[in-house]
Amino acid sequence: MTDITKNEKEAWSGGEKPFVSSYGKLMMWFFLVSDALTFSGFLSAYGFMRFKYSHLWPVAEDVFTHFPFLKGDHPLLFVALMTFILIMSSVTMVLAVNAGNKNDKKGVTLWMLVTIIGGFAFLGSQAWEWGHFIHGDKGGIELPNHEIVHVVDEEEHFYSIYDLVGVDSYADDVNITIDDVKEALAQRPDLGIRLTDKSVVSDAAAQAYLNNAEVVLGANLIRNEYGHQLFANFFYFITGFHGFHVFSGVVILIVIFINVIKGTYERRGHYEMIEKVGLYWHFVDLVWVFVFTFFYLV
């Protein structure tokens, strides 16, 4: 037991690596700690505003409902696929690090390549997700007090405003006015307007709510058809910041991949660079685990 303290003292008196880790890896770790605190700042700010506006906050299942080539509503399915892609690319990254520890150039090349493809797959999925969020789904109505309400059917499921007025939502020049909605709604007594307190009004009461209201189609930094504006702003900011991390990660991976092929690390005698970029890549996965929970699940 006394030997351990003695060794620890010697380890810190210079000439040794007390953390048994290289300078580069340590600095990557400390960068990741600061980045983790940055992301936790963003996510707690999101939580703060969500708690403040909890009654106006959209429900994620009503927002992210699309899945490529499938019709209808499939909440959580696409984001589950994105999570799977990122976990999978994390696994191939570990396999690359593992091959690097054995100085196996072929293995590192293969697994780095697969990881880069996984990174691009994730970025593509995120672009798809953003595209659908920007375009919007079923449309919303903004009341004069800036609250967003939705048209619902008898089971209180959101009913598409596009279907209501009979317009193709992917047509080039979609322009739906509140008068179109009022007119169409008058013909459909089975539909109603769900207010922010979750109560549903129909017929004359619904028409009264629509006076001086506006139709909101899609979500951006100024308007958000799904609910409170800050939901869209935080979504773009946090998933955008994370996506930027993924993009940077892919660029760094490509640079290191080229070095692997050129034999830079083979000549250097070790593949520690793969470990460093691996730390960064796993961190990106780690952040997504939290974004997934707090944007899509909770």
Partner 1 sequence: MSEQTGTWWIWRVFWILLIVTAVEVILGIIKPALLIDNSFLGTTLLNLIFIVLTIIKAAYIVMEFMHLGHEVKGLKLSILLPAVVLIPYLVFILLTEGHYIFGTL
Q: How far is CA 7 from CA 16, 23, 26, 158, in A?
A: 11, 21, 21, 67
Region 239-298 residues binding partner 1, contact defined as CB under 8 A: 278-279, 282-283, 285-286, 289-290, 292-293, 296-298
Binder to partner 1 among 63, 95, 149, 206 (CB under 8 A)? 95
Cα-based angle 43, 49, 54 (whole degrees, multiple of 5): 115
β-bridge pairing 148-152 and 214-216: unpaired
Could you tell me how far CA 26 lies from the centroid of its own chain? 28
Binder to partner 1 among 20, 171, 204, 222 (CB under 8 A)? 20
Under the binding rule (CB under 8 A), the answer on residue 33 touching partner 1 is yes
Under the binding rule (CB under 8 A), the answer on residue 90 touching partner 1 is yes
Site string for partner 1, 205-234 (x = CB under 8 A): ------------------------------
Cα-based angle 225, 228, 232 (whole degrees, multiple of 5): 70
Under the binding rule (CB under 8 A), the answer on residue 6 touching partner 1 is no
| 242 Cβ contact list (under 8 Å, min separation 6) | 39, 284, 287, 288, 291
Q: What SS3 class is residue 76?
A: coil
Which ranges constitute the DSSP H helices of 12-76?
A: 23-52, 60-63
Under the binding rule (CB under 8 A), the answer on residue 41 touching partner 1 is yes
Positions touching partner 1 (CB under 8 A) are: 18-21, 26, 29-30, 32-33, 36-37, 40-41, 44-45, 47-52, 54-55, 61, 75-77, 80, 83-84, 87-88, 90-91, 93-95, 98, 278-279, 282-283, 285-286, 289-290, 292-293, 296-298
